[in-house]
Structure 1
Amino acid sequence: MIWIWLLFVLYAIFFAPGEGISTDWIFRDLVSGQFQMIDPLVIMMFSSLGIFPILFALLLLRVDDRVIPAWPFVLLSFGLGAFAILPYLFLRSRSRLVTKRAFTPLRSLLSSRLFSFALLIGTCLLYGYGFIKGSINEYTEAFQSSQFISIMTVDFFVLTVASFYIFWFIRKEGYKSFLCFLPILGPCLLLTATRHRPQ
């Protein structure tokens, strides 16, 4: 995981194409909520990066049983995405076990199938909006002209790999973990279908 993180950092600093955020109108309109001139596929990808941290809260906070706490990294992932999650996964794999930290009401919410199902439905609606109304050509143009969109796109796929890693190595779901390569949808399906058993 640390090598993926380092490659991602190098890509973001040296290789991401397009305008920097200081002159990028797409970035400006996205963060200000002015979506009228932005392709729906771009909006879908941008919004997905807001859903991913919620998914990682579901996956990590309810198995927060290592010396390195998960919550700071989950919190940072709302702004930094994979830049925050990948270092946690690396540190977690090298940390010893402790008692779980999550507060009981929070753990109860995170273990709820209803919450996972609501996230699944919201993601389906978002993807439907993006893929039905969006344009691959316009997204490609945005990727090439906006450094923010190019980094955001790579971030999306790195987070997808991270969710697979969590299910395979942390939750030990075996072959079912490959569902996680359906970004957000796969992990939500697994969480909805199986109830978490606190250890």
Structure 2
Amino acid sequence: MKYLLVWIALVCYSFFFAPGEEKDLVLQSLFNGNWANVDPFVLMIFSFLGLFPMIFLFILYQENSTRLPKWPFAFGAFFLGAFSLLPYFFLKDRFSEKHSGKQTVWPRNTLLLTLLLLLFFLILVSGIGGSLSRYQEAFMQSKLVSVMTIDFLVLVWLSADRLLTRKASFCITPYLSFIPVVGPIVVLLSTKKDVK
């Protein structure tokens, strides 16, 4: 039920409460390729929203399977973020589990390490020169920035919520998953078994 309530709150915020001027200059700059006109912190959060769906691919496919297909929600997350993932987690408990037998082994850790390196590259490229005051201005002036910021915070909470039950190894605590983006990757690297 909590996932449904958060989804409703996210939708209501996006359509009725998110601040922003009629002419969204940040949105125009991003889609016109004028990234120099966008604050680096805005670019960094925007980039993180592209990484989170890949993190959730690992989270989804490590969890026990249900008769509810995962791929539409995982694919939708690349475009809609938490708007796509929250309905899955709300619905999955309402479908009976299925047992698909032995799972295919794939280079999970290699992909996660690659994702971690990509994350640090994005922080170096996008995060340098950012200003919290300019980000706050962009939040109030651009509906895109205000919605993507709340979406980012929901994804941080959602990833931590799904990983807190994991039994991590190598002295890694699942509470690290509250650290945006990098935390979930570290926790996933330290866990192996499927969970509910």
Q: Which has the higher mean CA deviation after the structures are superposed, 137-146 or 95-104?
A: 95-104
Please tell me whether residue 125 in structure 1 is matched to residue 121 in structure 2: yes
| Separation in structure 1 between the aligned mates of residue 64 and residue 29 of structure 2, nearest angstrom | 36
1:16 aligned residue: 18
Equivalent position to 1:197, from 190, 193, 196: 193
Q: Which has the higher mean CA deviation after the structures are superposed, 120-129 or 39-48?
A: 120-129
Deviation at residue 93 of structure 1 after TM alignment: 2.3
Cα 1:101–1:124 shift into 2, 3 Å: farther
| Separation in structure 1 between the aligned mates of residue 194 and residue 100 of structure 2, nearest angstrom | 9
2:135 aligned residue: 139
Matched AA of 1:162? L
- Superposition RMSD on alpha carbons, in Å? 2.4
Please tell me whether residue 187 in structure 1 is matched to residue 189 in structure 2: no
TM-score scaled to structure 1, two decimals? Answer: 0.86
Please tell me whether residue 108 in structure 1 is matched to residue 106 in structure 2: yes
Cα 1:64–1:71 shift into 2, 3 Å: farther
Number of residues paired by the alignment? 191
Q: Which has the higher mean CA deviation after the structures are superposed, 31-40 or 3-12?
A: 31-40
| Separation in structure 2 between the aligned mates of residue 73 and residue 17 of structure 1, nearest angstrom | 27
Identical residues among aligned pairs (%): 36
Residue 96 of structure 1 aligns to a residue in which SS?
A: coil
- CA offsets, 1:134-155, max 9 Å, x none? 1111111100000110000000
Gaps of 5+ in 2: none
Residue 108 of structure 1 aligns to a residue in which SS?
A: coil
1:6 aligned residue: 8
Cα 1:102–1:116 shift into 2, 3 Å: farther
Residue 128 of structure 2 aligns to a residue in which SS?
A: helix
2:82 aligned residue: 82
Please tell me whether residue 148 in structure 1 is matched to residue 144 in structure 2: yes
Cα 1:95–1:52 shift into 2, 3 Å: same
| Separation in structure 2 between the aligned mates of residue 161 and residue 46 of structure 1, nearest angstrom | 17
Matched AA of 1:176? T
TM-score scaled to structure 2, two decimals? Answer: 0.87
2:175 aligned residue: 178
Matched AA of 1:49? L
Gaps of 5+ in 1: none
| Separation in structure 2 between the aligned mates of residue 39 and residue 102 of structure 1, nearest angstrom | 47
| Separation in structure 2 between the aligned mates of residue 101 and residue 121 of structure 1, nearest angstrom | 33
- CA offsets, 1:45-74, max 9 Å, x none? 111101000111111124350111111001
